[in-house]
Amino acid sequence: MQINHPPKRFYFDDGQFFFWEGLKKRQVYFIGGYSIDFDKEKELEKDIISVKRKYNLNPRHPVKWNLKDRKIVSYYKNENTLYQSLFKNSDKIREELLDIFSKYEITLYMSVIIRMKQKDKPKMSYQRCFTNLLQRIGMSVGFTDNCHSVFLDFFKEDATAIAESYSSGYHFGRDTEGNPYDCGSLSRKNFSEAIYFGKTIYNQFLQLADLVTGCTQYFLEYCLKDKEFKMMMKFFPKIMDKFHKNAEGNPFRVSIVISPKTYYEKFERVFEQLKELQELGSIFN
């Protein structure tokens, strides 16, 4: 049966790091990923599998940005030769998987929370980060014949709080602190009633989301810590044009949302510099 207005599938993963601002330690929480039309998922899956097979990986074999993650190491404990090959070719595999995005009308999203007060609980920071993300995707979707769905890497002890945040946005169009969504309730935007949790090592679409967050972390760390410039330049330009933008071509406050707002200037300045470098590169290539 043909779907005239296919629903969106959203796949997200999370990350965190810290940086020093003077003598103050700041914790950064971020959730990011992508959306794709439901009727393009099978084609996307075939492209992921094609890259994996090139490096002797089967569809079941996970690829993550951090290949030293204990879960990845544990998964490959009985396939050490394959793991060593994966580790050796990690940059090539990352690049080829990220290059897949250019074939599709995929949209990227990123929500970042910089925790200013150490007494703030991490669980609440993640909830606010996720709420900001939900509002952005709620404003970006159009009519569908079915339901838009959100898939998120399993959040351990925070899963209940994240599910509660989604439910509040779905039913009431507000976060758990009572702040209203600008887009209205997610139910009116044709989202599914519940969020779906998965494990990245067992889900190829979430593995792509993991690559998005890993790649974007280099951008975030360069902006906040003035580190990882080489790695940022190697990977982030491959995906930066895929972030949802406003009419002026600006992704900030649209699909890249930062809190507190005082940090926008720094991120926007680096993003514009990267665009200029991209344009120079296309001239000289």
pLDDT digits (tens, 9 = 90+) for 63-79: 999 999 999 999 999 99
Q: Is the pLDDT of residue 156 over 80?
A: no
pLDDT band for position 284 (cuts 50, 70, 90):
very low
Mean pLDDT over 116-132 rounds to 80
- Percent of the chain whose pLDDT exceeds 90: 79
Question: Higher pLDDT residue, 197 or 117?
Answer: 197
76-96 tens-digit pLDDT: 999 999 999 999 999 999 999
Please, what is the average pLDDT of the chain? 91
pTM equals: 0.94
Q: What is the mean pLDDT of residues 97-126?
A: 87
Query: What are residue 148's DSSP bridge partners?
Result: 191
Task: Kindly state the average pLDDT of the residues 212-238.
Answer: 93
pLDDT on residue 283 = 40
119 pLDDT more than 50:
yes
Per-residue pLDDT at 282 = 53
CB–CB of 138/172 below 8 Å? no
Q: How confident is the model at residue 279 (pLDDT cuts 50, 70, 90)?
A: confident
**Please, which contacts does 242-249 make with residues 24 or more away whose CB atoms are closer than 8 Å?**
242/34, 242/101, 242/106, 242/107, 242/108, 243/107, 243/108, 243/109, 243/110, 244/107, 244/108, 244/109, 244/136, 244/140
Cα distance between residue 178 and residue 157, in whole Å: 23
Q: Which structure tokens are listed for 244?
A: 């949802």
Confidence of residue 2 (pLDDT cuts 50, 70, 90): low
The answer on pLDDT for 149 being more than 70 is yes
Q: Report the pLDDT value the prediction gives residue 277, as an integer from 0 to 100.
A: 84
Neighbours of 165 (CB within 10 A): 23
Give, for 282, the enclosing helix (H) or strand (E).
Answer: helix 264-284
pLDDT value at residue 111: 97
DSSP class of residue 174? B
**Tell me, what's the pLDDT at 160?**
87
- Per-residue pLDDT band at 159 (split at 50, 70, 90): confident
Residue 117: pLDDT over 70? no
Residues 17-24 have a mean pLDDT of 90
Task: Indicate if the pLDDT at residue 209 is higher than 70.
Answer: yes
Higher pLDDT, 133 or 247: 133
